Structure 1
Amino acid sequence: MRLKRFDCRVDLRVDLRAATAAVLTFLLVGVAGPSPAAAPGLENAKCLSCHDGRKDAIEVPGADGESRALHAVPPDAFAKGVHAKMDCVACHTEITDNAETDNTHRRDPAQKAKDCASCHEELWERARQQGVAQDKPRLGVVADNIAAYKESFHARKNADDPTRPNASCDECHSSHSFNVPPKDSPQYAEWRLGVPETCGKSCHEESLETFTESIHGEAIFQKKDAKAAVCSDCHSAHAVGNTSLAPFKLAVTAECGNCHEENFKSYKATYHGQINTLGYAYTAKCFDCHGSHDVLAVKNPDSKVHPDNRMKTCKECHNGKKDLPEAPPGFASYQPHGHAGDFERYPQMWLANQLMVQLLVGTFGFFWLHTLLWFWRELRDRQQGKVRPHVRADAPGLAGARHAGKHFRRFSATWRAAHLAFALSLMILTLTGIPLFYPNAPWAAPLMKALGGPQIAGTIHRINAVIFAAVFFWHLAYVAVRLARNWKEFRIFGPTSLVPGLQDGKDFLAMLKWFFGKGERPVFDRWTYWEKFDYWAPFWGVTIIGVSGLMMWASTITATFLPGWVFNVAAIFHSEEAFLAVVFLFTVHFFNNHFRPDKFPLEVVMFTGSMPVEEYRREHALEYERLLQSGELEKYIVDAPSRPMALGSKILGFTLIAAGLTLLTLVAIGFFGSH
């Protein structure tokens, strides 16, 4: 398993170490106060006379009964360290004299040698008690590092020697000579270049050997590039954790992005990256494809992402086990870092994005302007007292008082059920899809968690996609049957046809004249031009969203016959068309049917199926007059909905509007937060 050697890695987060090193001398002397003078014979000079490493190695009994050599303390290195002004016995408090018996000192059993953690914790606590903690924030940083270390793999008992941890502070920091140079200095760069050897030669020899051959190791050891990745960059500072758990996998992926910003950005735009951004680690991450210690350049024949090796790499996850079928050939040409900003490298994505951008700009530009002009004209008419007259049901030409309180049947129960299924499935599709579209939004991760995670949300999404498509295809079948039965009466163009015609263009121009006060408000027939657009738009939308979604859903079948870049293009079409549909429906469609002043706050005809006769005459005067003249009006006249039906329709309508506006708000937060 990749990264298996990281379970107890040395952790040397350089920025924290540098800051800590720079203040340790002050902390130890300035906060704790001057150390008491060492007893005669226990001065540093006396200690170093034996422990300077210039004589024979000093051996002492080890925990396993075997003798071990003590670490030498080179005087020059000690003099440059942050502890140079301290007495040796300030830490080695158990040593009471310099007499030696079998290379051991006389020790005070009541004393115990100071350890790094307890000493620095005491300094921090003392600073807090003295009320100077706010002036010494780095003391708090060190205390936090200690707390993190105590929870890390390094602090756990060593499997071979339970009397010691896997790694102690002085094994990484070398307490006798610890001194990290100031950042951005040549000395600091040199120190950083030595981090891999500190980790590797102490504990992780195998990992160091692999790392040395990698592109990162080549940069460190051959090119002397101190900006290249070292152990501590990926394995955090003092909180070295289990590399098989999600927190580490997510963190190390983000660490890759600190250096490889553009590639990380493009990765986050893919399904793998979206799931990762939401806090789930089961999709492919940087190291799954590129390796961990063994990262090689793409052009290297041994690289995991070299064209000759990509299928093998894909099959490490897509191996036919569990719920992932075996990767088909098309996966090898998928572009995990493709983006729409580079025509030369990714022409298909560039073209797809340009098409969708033009469609979005054109659609929203036209209809939002139409909406604003309509609202402005309505407002101006009201200010000038030009309110549309209320038509009484018993007025002349309305077939007498028998229509008072009556309704005009506009939509059958079948049409209303289809509309409701369409609306509900679309809203659920939006709810389950937008966390992937905007994974960085503040609401995305909590929403995905509330949905039960990406896998459950994905199942809900696909179920509602089937419902959405089923309603659409049922509609096509329904229309086909109706046309077959009434083909002699069918007219492609005409007052009852939903096919846009010349009259719709005239109506639109008449509306523009009214918008600018150059004409009277036009009257309409059975269908207005904006209703026809609402009808035909799903034919494009369902096709684009449905085909692209199906391609990604059945990815194994798709990639068996098509190259992998079709997934990059499908993702663009699917997400951008979904964005278009959601924003159009919850802005333009809501305004046209609910929010324009003469409809506000709610139009319930799509829930009740009928509308007052006087309102229908006002909204669709041409059809009303035609039906009245032909004697067909009566067959459309129905009783007003019952009180429970009317109340239920209002509750349902307001609920759907509230849900739509909530989804629109989430989309707006995600959109503006990502641009």
Structure 2
Amino acid sequence: MKSPSLRIVDLRAAAAALLASLCIAVAGPAAAAPAGLENVKCLSCHDGSKDAIEVPGTDGESRELHSIPPDAFAKGVHAKMDCVACHTEITDNAEPDDTHKKDPALKAKDCASCHEELWERARQDGTAKDRPRLGVVAENIAAYKESFHARKNADDPTRPNASCDECHSSHSFNVPPKDSPQYAEWRLGVPETCGKSCHEESLETFTESIHGEAIFQKKDAKAAVCSDCHSAHAVGNTSLAPFKLAVTAECGNCHEENFKSYKATYHGQITTLGYAYTAKCFDCHGSHDVLAVKNPDSKVHPDNRMKTCKECHNGKKDLPEAPPGFASFQPHGHTGDFERYPQMWLANQLMIQLLLGTFGFFWLHTLLWFWRELRDRQQGKVPPHMRADAPGLQGDKHAGKHFRRFSATWRIAHLTFALSLMILTLTGIPLFYPDAPWAAPLMKALGGPQVAGLIHRVNAVIFAAVFFWHLGYVALKLARNWKEFRIFGPTSLVPGLQDGKDFIAMLKWFFGKGERPVFDRWTYWEKFDYWAPFWGVTIIGVSGLLMWASTITATFLPGWVFNVAAIFHSEEAFLAVVFLFTVHSFNNHFRPDKFPLEVVMFTGSMSVEEYRREHALEYERLQKSGELEKYIVDAPSRPMALGSKILGFTLIVAGLTLLTLVAIGFFGSH
């Protein structure tokens, strides 16, 4: 992709080529120069063949005028113009020893005003659309006026830091056509144009760099020159965020693979989102002094990396001093090269297999279930959401009653778990998909990366706290009732042989080879939903903690651990979000028998009839043991039922919104 600055440079040639004809065609036939002020006469003194011409400078000291080689002038875009068309204040042809008389009422035309006038006339007479490149010149002028070059010079406030003719040499300006040998030669001269005029020290440093070596020694016109990084006209303050962000993107125009891998790091993600406070290409590699990695003087040479890292991670402000492990972090590591980055390759392969296995199995399971349940519903085999007072239940002592399935404690824990996970998703996905169209606005709405990071970590603590509270609660309960507990019993969440039998029976039902199976307290998919967070929280939690406590991690572990942790963290988070808002939501809300919402996790209870239908084995067991009555409760009050529906729908809408954002980010980045 061509950068804006390169486009501007490329367009200058065409724009400049038009100017000579525009000066005549737009303004009409030009009046001939006054006698004695023809170009031949002017060049007879100013062609540099005689002694240098000196004139008084603004500082009181004499200054030497630039000579105008006739051959260069003849090839320039202004060759057909008279000298006095620009130098309008000159009214005589005095010899060099004298001083030209100048009309005080006239002022020499400057490049910008002349070109702006041409563009304005083209717009007024309706020919602007036929001269689009003239509009580009006008845009360049507008950019220049806002640039660092247009500011008043600190030493001489009467002139700008750099004027048009200092870079373009108005007497010989003529950028050759792109892709021509002459154009390549012109590009090779850009560094000297900038350096010899004003930026001598930068030129000296640049000459010794890998870019300068390519330009001056290898004559590689594709290598970076000043205008590629600083732009041609919109030269900005290099200490401000817009420049830092723009120059990083400029690096990516040449170093595409390295730029892609950089954008996958935290530094690059924050940069892509439009924030300039993390490390950019030039922070690590240098700017004018970029050297090859193998060069002992390079900032990224293995012997110098710690020093480079400590330029930012120096123990000041919010960044602790960089520990040794930072030096082995791979800012350009990627998962496609086993030989160079084996740890990243293996981590990625492991997560890919986990994703494919989980989604492949459960999405197929979901589709088959949807198809079978829809068919049964159409045939009247599955009465959805049967009311407790429906015909057949009238007269039953449990008519209108509910079965208490979840206590208030479990419901609060579930809700806290769900909310914290959604917030973690909301604050994490802008980093995972920083190029997505919604990423930057979302990050801004969250208050920026630092605020979003704080929110993310707070909810990570809440998420983990609920998980560990659950472990403690279960451990305590098992300790109190260990004699009655049966690891593969009907109330246990530990998968057993019966779950395998239930799964096979479910498959038979899917394909019409058997009746719909009946279940005990927990179904096999509910057990999977229960155990999935154990590996999910472990993977996400440990990897997140390693990156959060980066200084401690890198004190004891090598830097590639961060590369691997980022893969585990992001891919497992992707798995959790997509699974929850597709498979889990289908199992509990979206299948025909439950659509559009199941509120048992919000009310804590379900109608006795629905419970008897979905958990027939537990119902029969409790009924035989006489324990059923202690689980029978009144139906939720009207406000409770309404509030549960509102809460449920709100969470579903939020979840589907997050899933949509993830889908846009995923498909937009692949």
In the superposition, the TM-score normalised over structure 2's length comes to 0.97
Q: Are residues 1:575 and 2:573 paired?
A: no
Cα deviation, residue 395, structure 1: 9.5
Q: Given that residues 588 and 598 in structure 2 are in contact (C-alpha distance below 8 angstroms), is that contact kept between their aligned partners in structure 1?
A: yes
How far off its partner does 1:23 sit?
Answer: 2.5
C-alpha deviations, 1:399-453, integer Å up to 9, x for none?
9632111110000010000000000000000000000000000000000000000
Cross-structure match for 1:12: 6
Q: 1:299 to 1:484 in 2, by over 3 A?
A: same
Please state how far the C-alpha of 1:26 moved relative to its aligned partner. 2.9
Deviation at 1:100, TM superposition (A): 4.7
Structure 2 residue 272 is the aligned partner of structure 1 residue 316: no
Which of 199, 202, 211 lines up with 2:194 in the alignment?
Answer: 199
CA spacing shift, 1:394–1:435, aligned 2, 3 Å: closer
Whether contact under 8 Å (1:391, 1:618) holds in the other structure is no
1:394 touches 1:402 (CA, 8 Å); kept in 2? no
Q: 1:52/1:611 Cα in 2 relative to 1: closer, same or farther (>3 Å)?
A: same
The superposition leaves residues 60-104 of structure 1 with CA deviations (integer Å, 9 ceiling, x where unpaired) of 111011111111111111000000000011111111221358532
Asked if structure 2 preserves the Cα contact closer than 8 Å seen for 1:375 and 1:597, the reply is yes
Aligned partners of 1:382, 1:647: CA distance in 2, in Å? Answer: 26
Q: Structure 1 CA distance, aligned partners of 2:390 and 2:554?
A: 66
Check 1:396–1:669 CA distance in 2 against 1; reply closer, same or farther (3 A cut).
Answer: closer
CA contact (8 A) 1:425 1:464 kept: yes
For the residues of structure 2 that align with 1:535 and 1:553, how far apart are their CA atoms? 27
2:278 corresponds in structure 1 to 283
Runs of 4+ in 1 over 6 A off after TM superposition: 389-392, 394-399
Tell me if the contact between 1:219 and 1:228 (Cα under 8 Å) persists in the aligned partners: yes
Residue pairs, 1:152-191, within 5 angstroms? 152-191=147-186
Indicate conservation of the 8 Å contact 1:12/1:231, yes or no.
Answer: no
CA shift, 1:555, in A, is 0.4
In the superposition, relative to structure 1, how do residues 548 and 240 fare at CA in structure 2: closer, same or farther (>3 Å)?
Answer: same
2:251 corresponds to:
256
| Residue 602 (structure 2) pairs with residue 640 (structure 1) | no
Is the 8 Å Cα contact of residues 425 and 658 (structure 2) preserved in structure 1?
yes
After TM superposition, give the deviation of residue 378 of structure 1 in Å: 1.6
Whole-Å Cα distance in 2 between the matches of residues 376 and 396 of structure 1?
A: 28
How far apart are residue 387 of structure 1 and its match? Answer: 3.0
State how far apart, in whole Å, the 2-side matches of 1:395 and 1:57 are: 110
Percent identity between the two aligned chains: 92
C-alpha displacement of 1:519: 1.0
Aligned-pair CA distance for 1:642: 1.2
Q: Secondary structure at the match of 2:142?
A: helix
**Which deviates the most, 390-399 or 418-427?**
390-399
CA contact (8 A) 2:421 2:459 kept: yes
For 1:152, what is the secondary structure of its paired residue? coil
Cα 1:472–1:105 change in 2 (3 A) is same
Residue-by-residue CA offset, 1:459-494 (whole Å, 9 max, x unaligned): 000000000000000000000000000001000002
Q: Distance in 2 between matches of 1:519 and 1:438?
A: 45
382-391 or 641-650, which deviates more: 382-391
Change (3 A) 1:397 1:647: closer
1:327 and 1:42 mapped to 2: Cα distance? 69
**Distance in 2 separating the partners of 1:389 and 1:42:** 99
> Separation in 2 of the partners of 1:323 and 1:392?
59
Q: Is the 8 A contact 1:334 1:568 kept in 2?
A: yes
Alpha-carbon contact 1:393-1:401 (below 8 Å) kept: no
Greater shift, 178-187 or 534-543, is seen at: 178-187
Structure 1 residues 392, 257: closer, same or farther in 2, change over 3 A?
closer
Looking at structure 1, the residues matched to 167 and 441 of structure 2 have their Cα atoms a distance apart, in angstroms, of 39
CA-based RMSD of the aligned residues comes to 1.6
Distance 1:23 1:373 in 2: 68
Distance (whole Å) between structure 1 residues aligned to residue 418 and residue 336 of structure 2: 34
Q: Select 1:137's aligned residue among 120, 132, 135.
A: 132
Shift in CA distance, 380/96, structure 1 to aligned 2, threshold 3 Å: same
Distance of 2:246 and 2:471 partners within structure 1:
49
- Give the CA deviation at 1:392: 7.2
* Pairwise CA distance, 1:233: 0.5
Shift of residue 517, structure 1, vs aligned partner: 1.1
Tell me the CA shift for residue 385 of structure 1: 3.4
Q: Distance in 2 between matches of 1:396 and 1:149?
A: 83
Alignment partners' CA distance in 1, 2:86 and 2:390:
104
Is the CA contact (8 Å cut-off) linking 1:22 and 1:182 kept in structure 2?
A: no
Cα 1:477–1:181 change in 2 (3 A) is: same
Unmatched runs of 5 consecutive residues or more in structure 1: 1-10
Contact in 2 for aligned 1:12/1:195 (Cα 8 Å): no
- Rounded to whole Å, the distance in 1 between the matches of 2:314 and 2:385 is 69
**Aligned pair in 2 of structure 1 residues 409, 52: CA closer, same or farther (>3 Å)?**
same
Equivalent residue, structure 2, for 1:559: 554
Contact 2:520 2:616 in 1 (8 A): yes
For residues 396 and 499 of structure 1, the distance between their equivalents in structure 2, rounded to whole angstroms, comes to 38
Residues 325-362 of structure 1: CA deviation (Å, up to 9, x unaligned): 00000000000000000000000000000000011011
Decide whether the 8 Å contact of 1:394 with 1:401 is kept in 2: no
Q: Deviations over 1:289-312 (max 9, x none)?
A: 000000000000000000000000
Provide the residue aligned with 2:222 in structure 1.
227
Distance 1:271 1:536, change over 3 A: same
Secondary structure, in 3 states, of the residue corresponding to 2:95? strand
Unaligned runs of 5+ in 2: none
Cα distance in 2 between the residues matched to 1:476 and 1:273? 37
Give the SS at the match of 1:99: coil
CA distance in 2, matches of 1:30, 1:381: 81
Q: Equivalents in 2 of 1:389, 1:216: separation in Å?
A: 71
Aligned partners of 2:45 and 2:96 also within 8 Å: no
Give, in angstroms, the shift of residue 108 of structure 1: 1.4
Would the aligned equivalents of 1:298 and 1:305 in 2 still touch at CA under 8 Å? yes
CA contact (8 A) 1:405 1:640 kept: yes
Deviation at 1:16, TM superposition (A): 3.0
The change in CA–CA distance for 1:391 and 1:102 in structure 2 (over 3 A counts) is closer
Query: For structure 1, which segment, 98-107 or 269-278, has the greater mean C-alpha deviation from structure 2 after superposition?
Result: 98-107
> In 2, Cα distance between the equivalents of 1:566 and 1:22?
56
Give CA-to-partner distance per residue, 1:368-395, whole Å, 9 cap, x none: 1111111111222233333348767589
CA contact (8 A) 2:310 2:322 kept: yes
Change (3 A) 1:400 1:492: farther
State the SS of the aligned residue for 2:461: helix
Matched, 1:481 2:476: yes
Q: Is the 8 A contact 1:100 1:106 kept in 2?
A: no
Q: Work out the CA distance in 2 between the residues paired with 1:616 and 1:511.
A: 18
The equivalent of 1:445 in structure 2 is 440
Contact residue 181 and residue 191 of structure 1 kept, 8 A = yes
State whether residues 58 and 70 of structure 1, in contact with CA within 8 Å, keep that contact through their aligned partners in structure 2: yes
State how far apart, in whole Å, the 2-side matches of 1:225 and 1:396 are. 87
Contact 1:12/1:238, CA 8 A, preserved across alignment = no
Q: In structure 1, how many angstroms separate the alpha carbons of the residues matched to 2:61 and 2:111?
A: 26
Q: What aligned pairs does 1:273-672 form with structure 2 within 5 A after superposition?
A: 273-388=268-383, 401-672=396-667
1:566-588 alpha-carbon deviations (Å, 9 max, x no partner): 00000000000000000000000
Distance across 2 between alignment mates of 1:128 and 1:393: 78
Q: CA deviation at 1:529?
A: 0.6
Mapped contact 2:55–2:64 kept (Cα < 8 A): yes
User: How has the CA–CA distance of structure 1 residues 649 and 426 changed in structure 2, closer, same or farther, with 3 Å as cutoff?
Assistant: same
Contact persistence 1:510–1:519 (CA under 8 A):
yes
Deviation at 1:398, TM superposition (A): 7.8
The whole-number CA distance in structure 2 between the counterparts of 1:478 and 1:12 is 64
- 2: CA distance, partners of 1:111 / 1:32: 19
Deviates more, 1:385-394 or 1:153-162: 385-394
Count of paired positions: 665
For 2:96 and 2:371, the matched residues in 1 are separated by: 100
TM normalised by structure 1 equals 0.97
Q: In terms of mean alpha carbon deviation, does 92-101 or 128-137 score higher?
A: 92-101
Pick closer, same or farther for the CA change 1:628–1:54 going to 2, 3 Å. Answer: same
Shift of 1:109: 1.4
Distance of aligned partners of 1:167 and 1:390 in 2 relative to their CA distance in 1, 3 Å threshold? closer
> How has the CA–CA distance of structure 1 residues 295 and 395 changed in structure 2, closer, same or farther, with 3 Å as cutoff?
closer
C-alpha separation in 2, matches of 1:79 and 1:300: 46
